[in-house]
Amino acid sequence: MREEIGRFILPGLGAASRNTRSLHEWIRGNRFSKVDFQGGECRLYAYSDDELYEAFTPDFQRFAFSSYETFLVAGLERDKFSSMGWPLLKLYYGAFFAAHAVTRATGNGQVNLGQDIVRSVNSFVSLIGGDDELKSGTYDASVREDANGVFLNLRAPNGGGGVHDGFWRYFSTFLENASSDAVSQGLPSSGDFVRKAAALSSCLIEGGGRGAWFSSVRNAINYRHELECWRPSTKKSLPRLMAFPSALRDTDELELALSERENELKRFASVSQYLCSLNYEIINRVINQVSGNTNFSRGWRSLQAGMQP
């Protein structure tokens, strides 16, 4: 999947030699020349395409790096204390951060816009004689292009549920849309990508009842202390017997584990390891694409050095 996702990575991601403004700062600073409301969506047309692309780097970096750090810390805790509750939850958060990083790398993501940001946008709209208003809240954001140029599209998400449940449903839709784009663009191995994306989406969502399965298991471990993940536990309890993911691996080698359905904890650990590994592969792809001593590459070297035992 890394190759297919890699083809959708934003131009210039991680290439800046210094800190760049974040997406929230880009919106708050009115770095757009036109605002267009269409069918419940808001389009912010960029003054500079490159500036909009660069605005995704800060969020990509913080999510990508925190995923890497969290995965390693989970393994260290498991090795040192032979516990499972917190290490499993940290695996989950590593995956949660990883999925956010993957969407940001491709010019997508869920963003929360506070009152200060929407006030700035609405002031701009008022100045140019518009009467539509952007409301505060969570939006599905995506970089798109039409005859008028490159723009940031903001759309209020469908459905309710909690933050985590909503995000995994959004991520599943993101995978579906990326698959469709790969097919429509005739990208190499698009059929393989469709299969891989469907397998990952199914593993994240199916079996969760009214919610996404992945977040429902996280809730069972974190809030209800189920699945025998917390001490005291017996020597024969599954958390004590199952192998804990100890390393980031090639996602092609981990693909088969996404078909696990008999054991919830194995499935939970497998999908977490898969997403954390995918994040690691995307980081390395970005590092290989940028040249020179960029802010992103410096941060990556510093993180790796700091995580040495």
Three-state secondary structure along 174-191? HHHHHHHHHHHCCCCCHH
Establish if 264 belongs to a structural domain.
yes
Amino acid making up residue 191? G
Establish if 300 belongs to a structural domain.
no
Q: Are strands 32-38 and 137-146 parallel, antiparallel or unpaired?
A: unpaired
Establish if 24 belongs to a structural domain.
yes
| Domain span holding position 111 | 2-290
Task: Give me the pLDDT at residue 101, please.
Answer: 99
Task: Give me the pLDDT at residue 30, please.
Answer: 96
Q: Give, for all 309 residues of the chain, the pLDDT tens digit.
A: 899 999 999 999 999 988 889 999 999 999 999 999 998 899 999 999 999 999 999 999 999 999 999 999 999 998 888 788 999 999 999 999 999 999 999 999 999 999 999 999 999 999 888 888 999 999 999 999 999 999 999 999 987 678 999 999 999 999 999 999 999 999 888 999 999 999 999 999 988 777 899 999 999 999 999 988 888 766 666 666 677 888 999 999 998 888 888 888 999 999 999 999 999 999 999 999 998 889 999 999 999 999 986
Q: Enter the tokens of residue 218.
A: 């996280």
Establish if 309 belongs to a structural domain.
no
Establish if 94 belongs to a structural domain.
yes
Residue with tokens 């995506």: 142
Task: Give me the pLDDT at residue 287, please.
Answer: 96
HSE-CB for 262 with a 13 A CA cutoff: 2
Q: Name the domain count of the chain.
A: 1
pTM of the model: 0.95
Task: Give me the pLDDT at residue 234, please.
Answer: 66
Q: Residue 273 and residue 246: Cα distance in Å, rounded?
A: 9
Establish if 301 belongs to a structural domain.
no
Establish if 303 belongs to a structural domain.
no
